Amino acid sequence: MRVFSILLLLFVSVAANAAGQNFADKVRDAMAADIRTAQEQRRDTNRKPVETLAFFQMRDDMRVLELVPGGGWYTKILAGVLRDNGELYIAIGADRVGEQLSKQPGFAQIKVIDVDAGMERSGPFNTVRIGRMDFGVRDLDLALTFRNLHNFTAEGRANINAAVFAALKPGGLYGVIDHTRRHMEPITAENRRRTDPVEMIKEIQAAGFVLVDSSDLHFHPEDALVYEVGEPSVTGRTDRYTLLFRRPR
């Protein structure tokens, strides 16, 4: 019986390692796609998509929501990974990148969610106010936001977090990355595109989520946390916190 148990554990371990390697290969294949520009590829070393998506426990058969896709840096990778077995939704400021990518071969399956939540850049230091919303989907496996929470007011973030909670299935995951602000430091013109990770944990927990884990994948000790993230001395080298939450089962 003991031998059987050991063999079973070895089998499970080997299978898990093989699945992880297969997923990593799919991410690398998506990173090598022709649709990605040279400028996007130059950011790969800094953004570490293979390790980051593995930390977020992503699989290629998941139903995934990306929030605020911006220019589509991560969208192109996520779509490539999920193309055969999963589904990718993008929401909040997603119309432009959705329209651009939908015209490219192999990207027509991206689903753009139209969120009518009255966004206004009228918050403190030009942050965005966004109202209550519903993404109109349910039972998603994973939601992701990369360096975006800082764009919104605290009330706007609460509305986003609540909508994410409603869209995820019980046990679904919520992965968050953003630029780090010093704990309890008030918002200023210099740090307005940074957020306090402790505050973000509290806000996301207030929406009903449970903190699963944190990672130092994007920890940059050379960032003194005092400069605007676009300042030449820190851009591309900002300290970023990486958090994973779960909707309780």
Cα separation, 164 vs 166, whole angstroms: 5
In this predicted structure, the answer to whether residue 143 has a pLDDT above a threshold of 90 is yes
**Which pLDDT score, from 0 to 100, does residue 79 have?**
97
Strand ranges inside 87-238, DSSP E? 87-91, 111-113, 140-146, 168-179, 210-215
**Residue 14 pLDDT grade (very low, low, confident, very high; cuts 50, 70, 90):** very low
Domain spans of the chain, in order of start? 2-246
Region 76-81: mean pLDDT is 98
Cα separation, 173 vs 196, whole angstroms: 21
**Residue 12 pLDDT grade (very low, low, confident, very high; cuts 50, 70, 90):** very low
Mean pLDDT across the chain, nearest whole number?
93
Cα separation, 16 vs 21, whole angstroms: 9
2-246 CATH, one of 3.30.70.360, 3.40.50.150, 3.10.110.10, 3.30.470.20: 3.40.50.150
Query: What DSSP state is assigned to residue 124?
Result: G
pLDDT (tens digit, 9 = 90+) per residue, 213-237?
Answer: 999 999 999 999 999 999 999 999 9
Lowest mean pLDDT segment, chosen from 7-21, 33-47, 192-206, 210-224? 7-21
**Which pLDDT score, from 0 to 100, does residue 137 have?**
98
CB contact at 8 A, 221 and 239? yes
Cα separation, 21 vs 19, whole angstroms: 5
**Which pLDDT score, from 0 to 100, does residue 7 have?**
47
Exposure on the CB side of residue 28, measured as CA atoms within 13 A = 7
CB contact at 8 A, 196 and 185? yes
